[in-house]
Amino acid sequence: MRSTNTPSRISIKDERLDIDRIDHYRLSFFISSESCQISIFDIQKKRLLLLEEVGFNSKISLVENIQTVYDEHTVMAAGFWREVQVFGRNRQFSLVPYPVFDKSLIQQYIQLNEPTDPNLDEYRFKVLDELGLAIAFAYPAALKEWFNEKYPNTSLHFNHQSIAYLKGLKGQLRERAQSSIYVLINDQEVLMAGFNFSRLAIYNQFQFSDSMSLVNGILSTAKQFSEEGQSIPVLLHGSKSLVDKNLPTLKKYFKNIELGQRPSDIMIHPIFNELEGMEYFDVLSNL
């Protein structure tokens, strides 16, 4: 589906992907400064049809990288998708309890967590009713302009990776555990959510340098909402290479750690089973 000019880390396609059914499909992008994950999902049949991850060239801009992928990917250029979703992987976000959320203060909320420039960034928010909070987030205005140009007649939605991750965790919560913590490792970045029973107590994203800094990050996060310390149940998702690298050290410090699985409410062809169950959890949770 693509040429080999852009480095692909993974590319899996269900042969039932049908160009004549694209008006039933959702095209999704998870975009960071280093890479992009692309998926195609049949909304009507609830079936995953394609999953790709592409590494970006650090010498060119984010939009130029997306344009390169677009130029090389014949299906992406179709203009009649049912919907297109764009998820930003960045730290320009803030979680606010919904009862006190004021949409006129989105920029200020984000600014508390990460710098943002209204001349360069666009702002959105998403209400997660089941968690009783709103997520304010920013993404590059140039990215919005590019997607609007490429998909002018398509239902286009911008979101943040935290929204997909928290949505996916609903089906994997340790509901009987007084406290539990959920960890997703992506390219040296950690997404981490702490729950008291089914109530979100804390959410954070941070970078880590090695296994011990990851351990310390989990313990520091857990300490803010739980007294269980190293006994707290930990559910781990993430890329296979990073999980394999860090899991031995994590097991030394957390006796109740286990690997998470992919969301259970989607249909996938056995060809996707080359992926481990804990991989691409936030991407698959969006489906």
Note the pLDDT tens digit of each residue in 76-115.
988 789 999 999 999 999 999 999 999 999 999 999 999 9
What per-residue confidence (pLDDT) applies to 24? Answer: 95
What per-residue confidence (pLDDT) applies to 79? Answer: 79
On whether the 8-89+140-161+281-285 domain is CATH 3.30.420.250, my answer is: yes
Does the fold of domain 173-260 match that of domain 8-89+140-161+281-285?
yes
Model confidence over 114-132: pLDDT tens digits? 999 999 999 999 999 999 9
What per-residue confidence (pLDDT) applies to 7? Answer: 53
Model confidence over 264-282: pLDDT tens digits? 888 899 999 999 999 999 9
The helix (run of H) or strand (run of E) holding residue 184 is: strand 180-186
What per-residue confidence (pLDDT) applies to 8? Answer: 59
Assigned CATH class of 173-260? alpha beta
Residue 4 pLDDT exceeds 70: no
Which residue ranges make up each domain of the chain?
Answer: 8-89+140-161+281-285, 93-138, 173-260
CA distances to 46, 66, 94 from 198, in Å: 26, 37, 20
pTM above 0.85, yes or no: yes
Lowest-confidence segment of 44-53, 73-82, 206-215 by average pLDDT: 73-82
Structure tokens that stand for 193 in this block: 């959510």
Residue 2 pLDDT exceeds 50: no
